C-alpha cells in the first residue's frame, strides 16, 4: 500500500522542469535573436515571475510546514510543551507529521502508565506495610519452648500467614499459605490473621478457632482461592502439644533420642474450600519430649528451584534438619536451614513466599523471658 500519494520531490522536479524550459527559451532567444521574436525583457520578466512563484510555493508548501514540525520536535526533545500537528497532507511532510503525532501519543500513554504504575507502587507499599504490621515482627518467648519464625515474601505483598499467640496458659502457633501470591493472596492472608486473633480470644482450643475462621472465610473468597493451614497448641502447664490441620504441608518432628526426622500429615481440608469443615478436621496430639523439635514450613521452601530447575524438596529439608539440629538451638536450625535453601537456589528468582517455623521443647524455660526476641525477617 502506498503511503505517500503526493510526493514533494515530484513537485520540485515538475517546477524545475518548467524552470529549465524557460531558461532554455531565454538562451535560444539571445543566441539567435530572430526578427519578430518576443522582446527579451518579456522573457526575462516571465522567467523572474516563475522564479518568484517557485520560491513562494517552496516556502509555503515545504519550508513553512517543515519549520512548524521542527519547532514541535525541538520542544519535545527539550522537555517543553508541544502540540499535536494537524494536517491532511499525504506527502513526506504529512508522513513526518503523522509520525510525530504517533510518537507523542505513545509518549503520553507511557507517561500515563508511569503515573499509574507509581500510584500502584504507592498502594503496594502501603499494603506491604499494613501486612508487616499484622504479621509478628518478633518470635515470642514461651514457657517450655524455643520458637523462631522466619518469613520471606516473593513480592511486596505475600500470601504466607503465620503467628504465635499466647492466651492464658496456651500458645497457638500456626502457619498458612494462600493459593498464589501477590495482592489477592495478601488480602486473604490479612483476613485470616485477623480472624484467628479474634477467635483465639473467644475459644480455648485450636479446633474451634479453625472451624470458625473457615466459616467466615468461605463467605468472602472465590472458589479458586483458598488457604492451607496447620495450627499447633502448646499447653504451658501440662507440656502437651496438639495440632489441627487444614490441608497444609507435613509437620516435621525431629526426635532427639533417635536422631530421626518424622513427617506427620497435617490432614483436613484447606480453609475456604467447604462451608463447614467441622466434620473433616480433628485435633490430634503430638508426643513431644524434651529436646524434640517441631518444624512448620510453606511450599515456597520445598518447591524452591535451582538453576537446573530441580526443586529443593521435602527430603532435602529433612536432611538439613537432621544435620543442624544436633549442633544448634531453634534459632540456629532456622538460620542454617534458610541459608541452605538460599544456597540451593544459586541466585535464582524466588517464585513463592517462604516461611519457616522451628520450635524446640526446652524444659529449662520455666516462664516467658523478657529479653529481646528474634526477628521474623528471613535475612535477620
What is the CB neighbour count within 10 angstroms for residue 368?
Answer: 13
pLDDT tens, position by position, 130-153: 556 566 667 888 999 999 999 888
Residues 6+ apart with CB under 8 A from 311: 302, 303, 304, 305
Per-residue pLDDT, 156: 62
Per-residue pLDDT, 2: 45
- Strand-pairing partners, residue 245, are 230
Is residue 233 within 8 Å of 243, Cβ to Cβ? yes
Per-residue pLDDT, 133: 59
CA atoms within 13 A on the CB side of 265: 6
Per-residue pLDDT, 18: 64
Ramachandran category for residue 182: left, alpha or beta (phi over 0 → left; psi -120 to 50 → alpha): left
Per-residue pLDDT, 318: 96
- How many residues does this entry show for the chain? 380
Per-residue pLDDT, 161: 85
φ, ψ at 318 (rounded to 5°): -65, -40
Per-residue pLDDT, 85: 73
Cell of 287: 508426643
Distance (Å, whole) CA 69 – CA 60? 13
φ, ψ at 221 (rounded to 5°): -115, 155
Per-residue pLDDT, 1: 37
Residue 161 host element (H or E): strand 160-167
- List domains and CATH numbers for the chain: 8-110 (no CATH), 138-361 (3.60.40.10)
φ, ψ at 372 (rounded to 5°): -60, 135
Indicate the Cα dihedral angle 146, 152, 156, 160, nearest 10°. -70
Indicate the Cα dihedral angle 96, 97, 99, 102, nearest 10°. 180
pTM of the shown model: 0.67
Residues 6+ apart with CB under 8 A from 189: 131, 158, 159, 160, 161, 176, 178, 227
What is the CB neighbour count within 10 angstroms for residue 206?
Answer: 25
What is the CB neighbour count within 10 angstroms for residue 86?
Answer: 7
Distance (Å, whole) CA 342 – CA 366? 35
Cell of 355: 516461611
Question: Which of 183, 312, 324 lies closest to 259 in space, CA to CA?
Answer: 324
Residues 6+ apart with CB under 8 A from 302: 249, 311, 312, 313, 314, 317
Is residue 163 within 8 Å of 174, Cβ to Cβ? yes
Question: Which of 244, 300, 247 lies closest to 273 in space, CA to CA?
Answer: 247
Distance (Å, whole) CA 338 – CA 291? 21
- Residue ranges, the chain, pLDDT below 70: 1-47, 50, 57-58, 60-62, 76-79, 82, 90-92, 106-137, 156-158, 180-183, 222-223, 367-380
Residues 6+ apart with CB under 8 A from 116: none
Amino acid at each position: 500500500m502506498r503511503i505517500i500519494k503526493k510526493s514533494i520531490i515530484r513537485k520540485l522536479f515538475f517546477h524545475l522542469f518548467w524552470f529549465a524550459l524557460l531558461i532554455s527559451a531565454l538562451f535560444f532567444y539571445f543566441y539567435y535573436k530572430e526578427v519578430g521574436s518576443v522582446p527579451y525583457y518579456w522573457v526575462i520578466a516571465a522567467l523572474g515571475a516563475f522564479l518568484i512563484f517557485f520560491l513562494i510555493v517552496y516556502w509555503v508548501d515545504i519550508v513553512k510546514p517543515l519549520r512548524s514540525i521542527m519547532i514541535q520536535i525541538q520542544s519535545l526533545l527539550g522537555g517543553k510543551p508541544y502540540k499535536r500537528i494537524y494536517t491532511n497532507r499525504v506527502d513526506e511532510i504529512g508522513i513526518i507529521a503523522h509520525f510525530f503525532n504517533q510518537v507523542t501519543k505513545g509518549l503520553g500513554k507511557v507517561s500515563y502508565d508511569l503515573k499509574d504504575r507509581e500510584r500502584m507502587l504507592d498502594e503496594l507499599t502501603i499494603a506491604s506495610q499494613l501486612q508487616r504490621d499484622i504479621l509478628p515482627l518478633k518470635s515470642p518467648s514461651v514457657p517450655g519452648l524455643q520458637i523462631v519464625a522466619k518469613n520471606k515474601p516473593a513480592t511486596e505483598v505475600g500470601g504466607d500467614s503465620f503467628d504465635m499467640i499466647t492466651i492464658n496458659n496456651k500458645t497457638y502457633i500456626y502457619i498458612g499459605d494462600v493459593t498464589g501470591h501477590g495482592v489477592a493472596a495478601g488480602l486473604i492472608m490479612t483476613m485470616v490473621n485477623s480472624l484467628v486473633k479474634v477467635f483465639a480470644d473467644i475459644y480455648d482450643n485450636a479446633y474451634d478457632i479453625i472451624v470458625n475462621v473457615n466459616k467466615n472465610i468461605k463467605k468472602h473468597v472465590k472458589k479458586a482461592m483458598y488457604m492451607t493451614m496447620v495450627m499447633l497448641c502448646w499447653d504451658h502447664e501440662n507440656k502437651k502439644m496438639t495440632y489441627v490441620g487444614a490441608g497444609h504441608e507435613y509437620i516435621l518432628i525431629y526426635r532427639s533420642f533417635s536422631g530421626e526426622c518424622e513427617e506427620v500429615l497435617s490432614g483436613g481440608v484447606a480453609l475456604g474450600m467447604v462451608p463447614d469443615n467441622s466434620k473433616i478436621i480433628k485435633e490430634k496430639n503430638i508426643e513431644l519430649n524434651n529436646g524434640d523439635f517441631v518444624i512448620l514450613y510453606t511450599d515456597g521452601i520445598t518447591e524452591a528451584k535451582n538453576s537446573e530447575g530441580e526443586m529443593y524438596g521435602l527430603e532435602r529439608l529433612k536432611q538439613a534438619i537432621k544435620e543442624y539440629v544436633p549442633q544448634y538451638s531453634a534459632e540456629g536450625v532456622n538460620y542454617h536451614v534458610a541459608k541452605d535453601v538460599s544456597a540451593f537456589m544459586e541466585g535464582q528468582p524466588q517464585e513463592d513466599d517462604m516461611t519457616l517455623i522451628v520450635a524446640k521443647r526446652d524444659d529449662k524455660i520455666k516462664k516467658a523471658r523478657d529479653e529481646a526476641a528474634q526477628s521474623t525477617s528471613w535475612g535477620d
